[in-house]
Structure formats: structure tokens, C-alpha cells
């Protein structure tokens, strides 16, 4: 047995999070794509069956009240809140990440005031965020400026209305400095909007601690909510009375069943609701979030860093020098929970890895992405993935 394999055994034996693997449905493959779609929590199938057969099939319309369907968006938001460092009453679940980015960015521009004419957007963002930012700028009469996160402090000024940034770069796994960037944005008088899709459930975020204004995120990656699971919107408590959603719907009305022809927004984070909640996927998410019971997010972060460190060490030990290049930062304070490797034939390499039982993903044109979900990925699997990668590369 190789030295890395022996070390993996020791690391797994000392891993306090190892028992959490039993909370997931795992089938023997090395699953390193939880940064795209988390594994299935073991309790979800029976819960969804109950929602379909009893709540929908038997109680039917009564479930809006008796099964808690109506209050699900804010109730589940409160389940997510501790994972992103937020107090209850500031997160509402529903819609997609894209829709919530639109709501958050337009609302931020409106709150900033008409004299602030610029919106800054992360140049390295996931494409949809950029598309939405461009549309939000057109809708609000602002000018969109595209900058890298490192360029944000110098780009800020008295005309800046809002800044949309990703906490973790989806391609490279680079972690951006949320506390210092948020502070710089506030010092300029602008509002900070953060996309947490690649950080929530993998590392501490500290929304309240760092005074983030608005944040959005998906729930199907590290939160394991399932394909197409609803996203969430965070609105800092003191901003909620001023939050002016560009998508007012009957679900966010102060009196939704009054059916008034004029709109009066509900108080609090409920203003982020729009239409009828997608109950089946929302309650699957609620069940999935139970895997986080009694889990310390700082312990998750510690294991995430240890797993990615170990993977990089194994790749170095097993692969020919220069065959792959890591795009993921080495310093812990700059790293999310994934490793991105560049190689010329990345697409074919990933196909062969998947055929061999190691599932990551490929990003055009030459990037292999490996997501490390600390709740269910082991050190032995990490070593196995690096060893297979080396074999495929040779």
C-alpha cells in the first residue's frame, strides 16, 4: 500500500465527521461532483413519498395549513440561516438563484438611490449572474461595469449603487474575501450582494457578522437539496422595510388572500416571495437539511481544507510533473471546497475517470473540477481519485 493510501486510512480513522456518511445514499463511486449536485440524503425518499401520498393525496388543499405548506419558504429559510451565519427571519426560500439575483440586485439599486448610477459585477462570475446584472442595469437605468473581485476596491466610488460578487469562483474554487470586500463596498456607500452558491454548506459565511446587505444561493450543491431545488434570498433585517422587489406577487402581499388590485408588501423577508411555492421540491429540501442537525460548520470547513490539501498532495505524488496544473489557490483563506486542475485533454480525461468510478466534472475548455463535500467524502476516496487520475493521465 502506498504512503498516501496509508495516510488516508489514518485520517479516516480520526475523522469526527465520518459517521455522517450514513445519512446519505452512496453507491460505491467516488462522488466529487457535490459542488454541482449533492448526494441524496437517505431520509428524503420516504419524506417525499409522504408529501405525495398523504399530504397531497389525502389531505389535498388542507395541507396548505395542516401540513405547513404555506409557511415553508420562511421556515426552511430559518433552517438554512445558521449555515450562512444569519439570524432567523432574514431568509426566504423559493424561485431559482437567477430569479433571486434579479430581485436582490434591482432592489439594491433602488435602495441606493437615483444619484448612484453604476452597478459593478464580478468579471469571473457564473454567466447567468452576468446576464441578470446586465438586465438589472437596463431596467434601473444604471451603467454596468465588469471588474474582477480584486479590482472592486479601486472601482468603487460615489456613483456606485451595488456590487454583485461570488463568494467562491465556480471555475477555480478561489474564495473571495467577503468581509473586506463588503466593508469596502459599504465605505463607498454602496450595497453588497453576494452569491453563495459555492460556499453555503462548505464553509462559514458570516452574513450577519460582516453586515452583508443581500445574498442569494442555491440549495442543490453542498446543501444536498436535490436537482432543481429552490434557491434562497437573504435580506438583512434593517433593510427589509426598504426592500422593493421588482417581482411583487400575491405571495408577498401583506394580505395575500384579500386579492386586492393594489400591492402592499408583507413585512420582513416575506417580501422576497413571489408566487405559489414549489412544495414538492421545497419539502424535499427541508428533509435534506436535517442531515445538518448537530453539525458544526467550522468542523466542516476544517475537513474541507484537509481533504483538498490531501488531494493536491496525492496528485503531486502520483502524477507526472507538469501534466496537470492546479488553478485552485494554495492558501486556505483563498480556497473554497473544490480543486480545479487544468490539462489539455480534460474532457476525455473526465470521461475516463467517470467510467472508472470517480465522478467529477469538466469545464470548457480544459478544466477538471473536483468538489469535496465533507459530510460524505472520505480520505480513502480522495486518494483513490488521485490514483485513478494518475493512471488515466498515463
Please list the active-site residues.
126, 195, 220-221, 369
Which of 263, 313, 265 lies closest to 7 in space, CA to CA? 313
Distance CA 123, CA 130 (A): 8
Are the CB atoms for 269 and 91 separated by under 8 Å? yes
Q: What ranges in 289-343 are assigned the alpha helix state H?
A: 297-318
Structure-derived torsion over alpha carbons of residues 235, 237, 240, 243, reported in degrees to the nearest 10: -40
Cell (9 digits) for 231: 434557491
Which of 335, 336, 377, 380 lies closest to 360 in space, CA to CA? 377
Residue with cell 466610488: 157
Pairing label, strands 232-235, 91-93 = antiparallel
What residues pair up with 325 in beta bridges, in sequence order?
342
* Burial (0-12, 13-18, 19+ Cβ within 10 Å), 226: buried
* Burial (0-12, 13-18, 19+ Cβ within 10 Å), 252: buried
Are the CB atoms for 249 and 278 separated by under 8 Å? no
Distance CA 76, CA 288 (A): 11
Cell (9 digits) for 131: 446576464
Residues 6 or more apart whose Cβ sits within 8 Å of residue 174: 168, 328, 329, 334, 335, 336
Amino acid at each position: 500500500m502506498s504512503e498516501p493510501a496509508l495516510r488516508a486510512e489514518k485520517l479516516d480513522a480520526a475523522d469526527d465527521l465520518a459517521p455522517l456518511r450514513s445519512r446519505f445514499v452512496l453507491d460505491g463511486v467516488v462522488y466529487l461532483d457535490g459542488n454541482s449536485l449533492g448526494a441524496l440524503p437517505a431520509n428524503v425518499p420516504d419524506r417525499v413519498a409522504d408529501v405525495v401520498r398523504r399530504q397531497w393525496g389525502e389531505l389535498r388543499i388542507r395541507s396548505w395549513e395542516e401540513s405547513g405548506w404555506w409557511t415553508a419558504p420562511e421556515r426552511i429559510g430559518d433552517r438554512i440561516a445558521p449555515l450562512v451565519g444569519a439570524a432567523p427571519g432574514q431568509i426566504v426560500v423559493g424561485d431559482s438563484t437567477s430569479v433571486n439575483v434579479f430581485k436582490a440586485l434591482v432592489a439594491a439599486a433602488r435602495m441606493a438611490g437615483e444619484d448612484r448610477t453604476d452597478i459593478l459585477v464580478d468579471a469571473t462570475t457564473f454567466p447567468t449572474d452576468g446576464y441578470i446584472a446586465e438586465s438589472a442595469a437596463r431596467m434601473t437605468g444604471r451603467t454596468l461595469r465588469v471588474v474582477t473581485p480584486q479590482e472592486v476596491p479601486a472601482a468603487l466610488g460615489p456613483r456606485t449603487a451595488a456590487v454583485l460578487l461570488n463568494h467562491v469562483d465556480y471555475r477555480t474554487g478561489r474564495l473571495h474575501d467577503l468581509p473586506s470586500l463588503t466593508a469596502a463596498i459599504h465605505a463607498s456607500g454602496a450595497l453588497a450582494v453576494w452569491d453563495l452558491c459555492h460556499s453555503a454548506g462548505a464553509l462559514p459565511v458570516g452574513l450577519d457578522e460582516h453586515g452583508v446587505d443581500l445574498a442569494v444561493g442555491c440549495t442543490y450543491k453542498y446543501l444536498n437539496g436535490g436537482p432543481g431545488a429552490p434557491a434562497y434570498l437573504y435580506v438583512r433585517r434593517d433593510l427589509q422595510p426598504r426592500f422593493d422587489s421588482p417581482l411583487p406577487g400575491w405571495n408577498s402581499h401583506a394580505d395575500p388572500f384579500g386579492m386586492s388590485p393594489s400591492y402592499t408588501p408583507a413585512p420582513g423577508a416575506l417580501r422576497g416571495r413571489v408566487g405559489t411555492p414549489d412544495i414538492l421540491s421545497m419539502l424535499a429540501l427541508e428533509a435534506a437539511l436535517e442531515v445538518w442537525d448537530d453539525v458544526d460548520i467550522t468542523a466542516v470547513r476544517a475537513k474541507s481544507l484537509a481533504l483538498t490539501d490531501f488531494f493536491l498532495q496525492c496528485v503531486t505524488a502520483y502524477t507526472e510533473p507538469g501534466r496537470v496544473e492546479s488553478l485552485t489557490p494554495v492558501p486556505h483563506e483563498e480556497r473554497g471546497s473544490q480543486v480545479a486542475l487544468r490539462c489539455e485533454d480534460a474532457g476525455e480525461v473526465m470521461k475516463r475517470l467517470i467510467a472508472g468510478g470517480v465522478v467529477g466534472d469538466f469545464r470548457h475548455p480544459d478544466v477538471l473540477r473536483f468538489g469535496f463535500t465533507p459530510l460524505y467524502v472520505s480520505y480513502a476516496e480522495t486518494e483513490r481519485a488521485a490514483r485513478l487520475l494518475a493512471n488515466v493521465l498515463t
